[in-house]
Amino acid sequence: MTSYAAYGTNLDPALMGARCPHSPLQTTGWLTGWRLTFGGEEHGWDGALPTIVQDPLTAVFVAVYDVAPQDEPHLDEWESADTGLYRRTKVRVHTMTGDVVAWTYVLDAYEGGLPSAHLIGALANAAEAADAPEDYVGALRQRPCRSTGL
């Protein structure tokens, strides 16, 4: 098993359980020195796509999963890593019990553009399901977004 740090809709343990049934939630924590942003608007069907970029002044809430080998190809496909849109990178997650080295997905496109209101809602709901702090969830819900979309 390898550790995977989810910052998007995979934060939701129930959703991740449906996508990767052999990969349990290990813990939650923070990617310090990173920030959640959006990019690749030209690649998304409904606005810009979520990603993370290094930023020494911020942190991103994540859920860490133990990903089973049989789930890895499904996760790569779901996250469009199999097409080259996202790539894997290793990160250090700070948890209540110590640091964990995990991999996560980073968008291979330029930062910029607005996500859809639907995506912002899905990200906030997923963070809430993972027991992210209320101020983090609230900040997600307040992010600028496109008013059109689903």
Segments making up each domain of the chain, as ranges: 2-141
79 classed as catalytic: yes
41, 42, 72, 79: the active-site residue: 79
Q: What pTM, to 2 d.p., does this model score?
A: 0.94
Question: How does DSSP assign the chain, residue by residue?
Answer: -EEEEE-SGGGSHHHHHHH-TT--EEEEEEEEEEEEEEE-TTT-SSBPEEEEEEEEEEEEEEEEEEE-TTTHHHHHHHTTGGGTSEEEEEEEEEETTEEEEEEEEEESS-B---BBHHHHHHHHHHHHHTT--HHHHHHHHTS--BS---
For residue range 54-81, what is the model confidence (pLDDT) as tens digits? 999 999 999 999 999 999 999 999 998 8
For residue range 103-137, what is the model confidence (pLDDT) as tens digits? 999 999 999 999 999 999 999 999 999 999 999 99
Task: Tell me the CATH class for 2-141.
Answer: alpha beta
For residue range 14-63, what is the model confidence (pLDDT) as tens digits? 999 999 999 999 999 999 999 999 999 888 778 899 999 999 999 999 99
